[in-house]
Amino acid sequence: MTKARVFLLIIFFLTIPINAHSGNNKITLRGAPLTLMGDSLQVGQTLPEINLPDRSLKMIGLKSLTGKVTLLSVVPSLDTPTCEEQTHILSEKNEGLDQTARLITISRDLPFAQKRFAKNAKIENILFLSDYRDAAFGHASGLLIEENRLLARAVLVLDRKGTIRYLEIVPDLAQLPDMKKAFDFAKSLQTE
């Protein structure tokens, strides 16, 4: 083997990510690096078998999200301007999806805070689920931020069988996901 081939092989092996199985486990907040914990969800998978409380503390199983196309908006905390905007877009600019699909927001906020937010914002067309207890969703989805124990900003679209068909994890926490693209993708699944 020539020195050039050996050199190329060494470079190749040095560039393979050690934890390639867990996808991109880094995001930023205004350029500052943050680490995502766990194995990230992938298109083609189903949501983890986890129960999360809604605003009235009723436990909702994520595996039960079948029968309808589901748009899942994941936010760090509803008490931040970007999360508030993302949630208002989901509620008010969903292009009629609230009539035909299931709209869900998951955050680490307490259910009582989610209830207060929904009431003050006059949002009635979104199911709010809380990952406050032990961050089970965050761990199982790879969306839990190690540094602050909040959830990364993401949007997922599930088909009627509960399979993830669209997934965007926003690379910088201060930015919004492309909600229009997620809405269009959700609409395309309704004709299948």
How far, in Å, are 67, 72, 87, 92, 184 from residue 177 at the CA level? 25, 12, 11, 16, 13
Q: Is 104 exposed, middle or buried (0-12, 13-18, 19+ CB in 10 A)?
A: buried
Give yes or no: 101 in active site: no
Joined tokens for residue 141: 């989805």
* Total length of the chain: 192
Name 168's bridge partners.
155
Count of other CB atoms within 10 angstroms of residue 59: 10
Distance CA 128, CA 93 (A): 17
Collect all residues with Cβ–Cβ distance below 8 Å to 4 and sequence separation of at least 6: none
Catalytic residue of the set 27, 41, 52, 83: 83
Q: Which residues are catalytic?
A: 83
